[in-house]
Chain A
């Protein structure tokens, strides 16, 4: 394949970038979900969701 090195770098770089971006989005979502659960476990509720028992 002509210019195989450039094609390989382009696809490998794009794959690594997309994987890193996707993992960051999922990691951020899990981190926020854990924080929310920790607050709820402490009995803290949003005012609109009613007060804690």
Chain B
């Protein structure tokens, strides 16, 4: 519905009339391989008023510090902040950098993310609306060699369009780490990031929402990033995100059903999503376990009797209407993914294999309830390790 109503202006962005100064902040821990290129990409952005590029080195044990110091010699706007002790997460490092930032707009970039040249020109105009406190843009997966990276490539493009559509009803619930711009006044009002939260980018967005700041998504530009290249690191990242989501729900639980988009939509949306995922998982486990027990008992009777374990009759399953609904749900989600990828071709012309999209629609999304379960376990175990 939102797409149909807004499709003509989905890639539009307001031209900035003012030229606010922008301070970039990059939290970094052992990022020697990518930090140099991230800084280069920021310095190459087609915008004259970038006043600072602040790198917060969280006691890296590799050459991150040396790489930045080398670049500092040619670029006076680079500021290196060395934390006295390892703060352990991005939120705290971002806050450390914020103390040095002087810009009207504060831009946060992950140390492995490369903003596009036109990113500021296309994003800054949104701040002309004085209610707008944060602006973000699509995140695209840079490499995409492994299967899991390709899956994330699809996912990120679907998320980008979804976030844009949510923006039309003031429901953007995260301004993600790879590139997010905040109005100085807004970020100071909320007191920066919550250093204890595993997903400080979700938390700050909810905080801004609670304070009445609007969040916008600019679909006309992009930031490229590296995504986890193997299942293990992907699983850990997603668990951390989910755990952060649970922390956010816990922190803002008093806002539930209170007036405003946070209490009436964002929070219920998160809670229902978790609840349905877990309910589905419970039903799945119940059916699977009872079926396995049943098959085991059946086999225990059948094998000694020499009776077949499977007959032709049993092969012809009569589908219930729930089976049909499941198929319809899959088809709808598949079509939605295809539409998103089609629309996002304008930003990311990457081709995606048909089988990959099918796998994404069936299996990739089905793993999330398991991650939720694991995140809940970690939440109660208070296992809040960021790295």
Q: Do A and B come from one complex?
A: no
